[in-house]
Amino acid sequence: MCQSLFFLFLCFVACCCMQLAGAKRHAFNPGEKRVNPEGLKDLVVDLPGQPQVGFQHYAGYVTVDEKHGRELFYWFFKAASGAKGEKPLVLWLNGGPGCSSVGYGATQEIGPFIVNSRGNGLELNPYAWNKEANVLFLESPVGVGFSYSNMTSDYDLLGDDFTANDTYSFLHNWFKKFPEYRNHSFYIAGESYAGKYVPELAELIYEMNKDPSLYIDLKGFLLGNPETSDAEDWQGMVDYAWSHAVVSDETYSIIKETCDFNSSKTWSNEECNKSVQEVLQQYKEIDIYSLYTSLCINNSSNSGVYTTGPVYKKEFTMMPRMMGGNYDPCVDDYAHAFYNRPEVQKALHASDGVNLKGWSICNTSVFHGWKDSKPSVLPIYRKLVGAGLKIWVYSGDTDGRVPVLSTRYSIDSLGLPKIGSWRPWYHQMQVGGWLQEYEGLTFVTFRGAGHAVPMFKPSNSLALFTSFITGQSLPLQRSNS
């Protein structure tokens, strides 16, 4: 009898300890403002393989159209514990169009977790951007990642304007779940085709802010290797390919003679089309997003052909844009394995863990069905520079997809007055890249980084983000500090 009572006592103590440990793991920080009950339902507590952290994160759906049943999936990470003061809110968008901000941004680039090489768990990212901000990742538009619509006709409407309007609706509805962040300073960041998404969304917020009831405290945006202006982007791509020995002198000479990327008629020129196709064909032999790293060779493939983007079409006038480059060239496979696990989908509130969502890192049907793409967002840049928003653009200099030359050509066409000279910036005693400041815009390069810069230079990227958020200058001389 005494032994039985003692055993029960030990069980009671063990149970209490487990409850206390769980409470400690998921406890709110002292003095922290709580989200409303709807937001609390999205708290992530049992994510498989997650390392222990001192901050909360939430995932789930926000309705952007109740009639159509249009739902956008998000993953939100509060600023890491120990952060002092009210941290800004940053929305991160990946591009494609059709690629997942959860699969890329959240768990390959700037989020606090990185999917491991077995695709069955997560590792801590010591250079996560939530060290400096509250970071919100969104899978947009519907058809991307876990985001969906119950109205199939919605998928026939996807384009720049549709995406901007849905993302804007998402923000206001997300603030209903997390009202304590409505008055935080707000920034937008992203890369690749988000070079279109982000300025378009920023312009929409800027215009809608004229109604005080809809006000979002937008401070600026940060873009990496962004598609900006089709003419400059195409010219930069072929110039970069030639200058980096990807194509021959003959091919480049024909392009110079026959292609006028400022004219919509250039794609009706057969010689121009053939030569541009040759550029893309040569890039298929390597990783267009990272010229000097290896491809992921799938041993189970029977074709032996490894592509880096959609097949070039004569009638296709937007730039091909798929699949971010990776330092580990097989990391997309790890993400695919992880996000299609039943227990992961259930923990992230993406499904009930039985009726699973088919998750892919990029949805090619979204890309191929894209309805409208602004040929240039430079007019939006001019408007928002004039409005006083903070705008920083960065570029990994080993990316062939949206190369540093494309971005330089686009920025140069703005004609902004320069502040100071073109000069190197430093990180950990080494040249991180170069920068040029303009009135209303800062341009920064990353030495040795591909398309998805944080994957190649995570520490440098965090340093850039910290400077952007805090208003501190990047180091312009070597220092031990």
What residue ranges in 231-318 does DSSP mark as E strands? none
Instruction: Identify whether 399 is a catalytic site residue.
Output: yes
DSSP states along 332-345: HHHHHHHHTSHHHH
Which of 57, 399, 406, 410 is catalytic? The answer is 399
For residue 187, give the nearest of 114, 93, 97, 95 by alpha carbon. Answer: 93
First-residue to last-residue Cα distance in the chain: 66
Contact yes or no for 130/454 (Cβ under 8 A): no
Of the residues 192, 229, 275, 395, only one is catalytic, namely 192
Token pair in block for residue 232? 């400059």
Element (H, E) at 250: helix 249-258
Strand 148-149, strand 70-77: pairing: antiparallel
Contact (CB, 8 A) for 442 and 391: yes
In one-letter notation, the amino acid at residue 135 is: V
Query: Cα dihedral sign for 437, 438, 441, 444?
Result: negative
How is residue 443 written in tokens?
């341009």
What is the Rg, in whole angstroms, of the alpha carbon atoms belonging to the chain? 23
Q: Please state, in angstroms and rounded to a whole number, the distance separating the CA atoms of residues 156 and 134.
A: 33
Is there a catalytic annotation at residue 248? Answer: no
Q: Which of 392, 428, 454 is nearest to 127 (CA)?
A: 454
Whole-angstrom distance, CA of residue 77 vs CA of residue 137: 8
Q: Is 186 helix (H, G, I), strand (E, B) or coil?
A: strand
Question: Is 156 assigned a catalytic role?
Answer: no
DSSP secondary structure letter of residue 157: S
In the numeric block, the tokens 């341009």 are attached to 443
Buried-exposed string 382-421: b where 16+ CB fall within 10 A, e elsewhere: eebbeeebbbbbbbbbbbbbbbbbbbbbbbeebebeeeee
Give CA–CA dist 27/19, Å, rounded. Answer: 11
From 230, 349, 451, 467, the catalytic residue = 451
**Residues with catalytic function:** 192, 399, 451
